[in-house]
Structure 1
Amino acid sequence: MNRFMDVLENVLMPLADKLNNNRYLTALRDGFMVALPLIIFGSIFVVIANLPFIDRLMTEATYAQYQELIGSASSATLAIMATFVIVGIGYKLTESYGGEALFGGVTALAAFLILIPQHVDETTGVIPVGVLGAQGMFVGIITAFVSAELYRFFVNKNWQIKMPSGVPDAVSRSFSSLIPITMTLSFFLLVRIAFSFTPFETVQNFVYTSVQAPLTALGSGLTATIIAVLLTQIFWFFGLHGQIIINSVLDPIWFTLAGENLDAYNAGNELPHIVSKPFMESFIVGIGGSGMTLAVIIAIFLIGRSRQLKQLGKIGGPPGLFNVNEPIIFGLPIIMNPLVIIPWLFAPVVVTIFTYFTMAAGLVPAPYGAIVPWTMPPIISGALATNSWQGAVLQVVNMAIVFVIWWPFLKVMDKQYYENEQSEGKPTKTA
């Protein structure tokens, strides 16, 4: 066990440290955080528009009108989430260099819009909404990174218009950014023109064919999902926030998969993916937090004789209902505790495999794309993510699986804590 832990520490700790401190992954993560409130707002109204059985309470015409009125909330946020992510990434990356963050954000958005073909079929002067959402996510991310770097490059070259003293600061900063923004956007205009002479015709077609489609296919597979879950648990075991590290890399893929599912759901088509952001949030992380520790808390209440575990259950229970599990991670403890490494690593993997095949078999619908807030308590979140009661039942079964896997290890820990308390003369009963 010690040798195994040494190998993990020597291999994964340096990797995690590099990922955690990588400027681009940090900007990517923070960019999604900027967009997240808007994405959740849109998702809430997708859920409201598609509440189970609501269509049976209205006439067909009334239901259609209801969905049209409610639908504008998601159309203005969730359907064009790539635009918010782009602004967030451009802003955060420029800010990390100490530049004018706001100009970095809007320049990234403008560069992205320049690359978009502004026509739909025979109609010109319009932007296809699809490329502003999941379909355009990867182009947007790449564009935001490149535009922020170009903007910084031209600023560092001091290609700026200097205004005399006495000019208002807002005006002076606008003119100072004029040349860097012009040069950056001109570069993207040239890129658009160059691609118009290629077989791909647009940057979107090129990136989707060569980057987005292969990555989304990889990210939607069970193997890649298991690896992501396992790495999340390993990083947490060594005291690193595994969810943030893994999400920084895979959120673009998972959000894209969720967007494609939502598009298919709204069109009345079969959902193309099982794995997506709601799959991870509602059925893996969303059952007490990373490691699905709500089941651990329930087990503690049922088997705990030691004062330490009883107190931990009382402290960790309320936040655990809302998927906040730091009290369990640091109080059990989980970090660097060899007694829990087996259930901590493998319980989420078993649940991931079980959930995937349950949905693949059609016993439970796959999440249809709405992003349920990660603090939503289990059972409710499962029903909302799948728009079905089966999703709630699956979460209960998942908790039972985790409970069974953790049970013998908690018994050993509780016995150890209890005997230590007895030997030290501590009381074992609480009021």
Structure 2
Amino acid sequence: MDKITKFLEEKVMPVAGKIASQRHLSALRDAMVLTIPFIIIGSVFLILANLPIPAYIDYLTAHPKIKTALLYPFNGTFNLVALIATFGVGYRLAESYKVDPLASGAVALCSYFVVTPSTIFTVDKMVTTAMNVNYFSSQGLFVGLLIAILSTEIYRRIVQKDIVIKMPEGVPPTVAKSFTTVIPGFIAIITVWIIRLLVENLTTFGSVHNIVGKLLQQPLTNIGTSLVGTIIVFFLINLLWTIGLHGSVIANSVILPIWLQLTSENATAFAAGQPVDHIVTAEFRYLIFIGGSGATLGLVLAMVFLSKSKQMKQLGRLAIGPGLFNINEPLLFGLPIVFNPTMWIPFLITPIVTVLITYLSMDYGLVAKPIGVLPPGTTPTLINGYLMTGSVSGVILQLVLFVTSFVIYFPFFKIMDNQKYKEEQTTLTNQDESKILKVN
């Protein structure tokens, strides 16, 4: 165990730390976090438009305008994630370079519109074109992230080389600052315009969106959402936690854009009354992480109700409140699980088992797949299971996962509890002997 700990400290921790602090991945992570409030807001209205109550569904079917109205906020939030994320990457990446983030975010958004194809349609026998709004949602997310990085890199390099329009003294600072954006913004937009022209005229892909989807997005999605790929992702999340690094934050920099796109696709299908296709989505992690990373709620309840050790019982009482809302840092660092080889085994095994159970039960149709509703991560277990699947089967699944995690953690909990109990008894015995000696 000492060799494993040393290896993790010396080899894994430095690499993971560099990944976590890498500016482009940090910008991607922050942009994804920026989209989450709007996804949650949209999810609320998606639920309201599709509550699984027969009488309610019949009423909405008889009054389609009401359902359409309920989906307006959904379309204005959830279905704009590509635009929000594009602006967010441009803003955060520019901020890390200490150049004007607001201008950079705007340039990134304009650059995205430049590469996004339009749709030709006819209205009252008039042929016209308009931006394809499908690319404003998750369908355009990958391209938005890549274009935001490219345009921001061009923007900041031009600014840092001081190739900007400089206004004379006396011009208000706000006006002067706006003119600073003209040259770097022009070069960034011209660059992505040329890329679009080259792709459309020299390739068979037709658009930047198609080329990114076929060459990058789809392969990453296939790998990252397969059963094996999903197990690896969740194993790595927990492995990073064992050495004190926030595994979810690090993994989200890479995998969350893929998961959010699939969440959005499921939500769109569900809103249209069609079957959902994807199992592994952004909300999948909330289904299996009952009590937080590692599914530790079963361990916390064992500590509260089954501990002989006063220390373990007290820590369980302190951790159960946050644990019910899927916050388990008090347990990770208080028990601890971090740098504690005894608890690494169940902490690493549990997500593998829960991923297997969840994935296979959904794949075989025993449990409803996620419907694209992304509740806050602190939504209590069972409640979030119902919201994310729109079915009681999601609640039953989480009960099964809770029991499974409890069974896996229990033997290791007993080992620690017995150790702590013996330490406490030894301390009490020594204190009693000390009192006797003082009396004598």
TM-score band by shorter chain is over 0.9
In the alignment, which of 165, 188, 194 is matched to residue 190 of structure 1?
Answer: 194
Match of 2:212 in 1: 207
How big is the alpha-carbon RMSD for the aligned residues of Structure 1 and Structure 2?
Answer: 1.7
After superposition, what is the alpha-carbon deviation per residue over 1:92-132, rounded to whole angstroms, capped at 9, x for unaligned? 00000000000111111110011111224565431222211
Q: Does the 8 Å contact 1:220/1:257 carry over to 2?
A: no
Q: Does the 8 Å contact 1:238/1:336 carry over to 2?
A: yes
Q: 1:362 to 1:425 in 2, by over 3 A?
A: same
What SS does the aligned partner of 1:119 have? strand
Q: Does the 8 Å contact 1:86/1:109 carry over to 2?
A: yes
Q: 1:186 to 1:404 in 2, by over 3 A?
A: same
Structure 2 counterparts to residues 231-270 of structure 1, below 5 A: 231-270=236-275
Residue 18 (structure 2) pairs with residue 14 (structure 1): no
Match of 1:274 in 2: 279
Residue 134 (structure 2) pairs with residue 130 (structure 1): yes
Q: Does the 8 Å contact 2:83/2:137 carry over to 1?
A: yes
Q: Offset at 1:268? A: 3.1
Q: Offset at 1:288? A: 0.9
Match of 2:435 in 1: none
Residue 154 (structure 2) pairs with residue 143 (structure 1): no
How many Å separate the matches in 1 of 2:269 and 2:222? 16
Segment drifting more, 199-208 vs 157-166? 157-166
Q: What is the number of equivalent residue pairs in this alignment?
A: 425
Match of 1:299 in 2: 302
Match of 1:173 in 2: 177
Match of 2:43 in 1: 43
Q: Does the 8 Å contact 2:305/2:313 carry over to 1?
A: no
Q: Offset at 1:137? A: 1.0
Q: Does the 8 Å contact 2:83/2:136 carry over to 1?
A: yes
What SS does the aligned partner of 1:340 have? helix
How many Å separate the matches in 1 of 2:419 and 2:178? 66
What SS does the aligned partner of 2:342 have? coil
How many Å separate the matches in 1 of 2:363 and 2:55? 26
Match of 1:155 in 2: 159
Match of 1:112 in 2: 112
Q: TM-score, normalised by structure 1?
A: 0.95
Q: Does the 8 Å contact 2:82/2:138 carry over to 1?
A: yes
How many Å separate the matches in 2 of 1:126 and 1:96? 35
Q: 1:106 to 1:307 in 2, by over 3 A?
A: same
Q: Does the 8 Å contact 2:46/2:271 carry over to 1?
A: no
Segment drifting more, 35-44 vs 117-126? 117-126
* Percent identity for Structure 1 against Structure 2: 40
Segment drifting more, 234-243 vs 301-310? 301-310
How many Å separate the matches in 2 of 1:145 and 1:392? 40
In the alignment, which of 342, 347, 367 is matched to residue 339 of structure 1?
Answer: 342
Q: Does the 8 Å contact 1:55/1:63 carry over to 2?
A: no
Q: 1:392 to 1:426 in 2, by over 3 A?
A: farther
How many Å separate the matches in 2 of 1:147 and 1:124? 29
What SS does the aligned partner of 1:283 have? helix
After superposition, what is the alpha-carbon deviation per residue over 1:284-339, rounded to whole angstroms, capped at 9, x for unaligned? 23x11111111111111221111111111111111111111111001111011111
Match of 2:73 in 1: 73
Structure 2 counterparts to residues 370-381 of structure 1, below 5 A: 370-381=373-384
After superposition, what is the alpha-carbon deviation per residue over 1:368-394, rounded to whole angstroms, capped at 9, x for unaligned? 112111110000000000001110111
After superposition, what is the alpha-carbon deviation per residue over 1:164-222, rounded to whole angstroms, capped at 9, x for unaligned? 22221111100111111111111112222222212112111111111111111112101
Segment drifting more, 122-131 vs 36-45? 122-131
Q: Does the 8 Å contact 1:259/1:369 carry over to 2?
A: yes
Q: Offset at 1:69? A: 1.0
Match of 2:415 in 1: 412
Match of 2:98 in 1: 98
Match of 1:400 in 2: 403
How many Å separate the matches in 2 of 1:81 and 1:409? 43
Amino acid at match of 1:323: N
Q: TM-score, normalised by structure 2?
A: 0.93
Q: Offset at 1:56? A: 4.0
How many Å separate the matches in 1 of 2:44 and 2:171? 46
Structure 2 gap segments, 5+ residues each = 431-440
After superposition, what is the alpha-carbon deviation per residue over 1:111-163, rounded to whole angstroms, capped at 9, x for unaligned? 00111112245654312222111111110110010010000111122121111
How many Å separate the matches in 1 of 2:192 and 2:57? 51
Q: Does the 8 Å contact 1:104/1:148 carry over to 2?
A: yes
How many Å separate the matches in 1 of 2:410 and 2:399? 16
What SS does the aligned partner of 2:358 have? helix
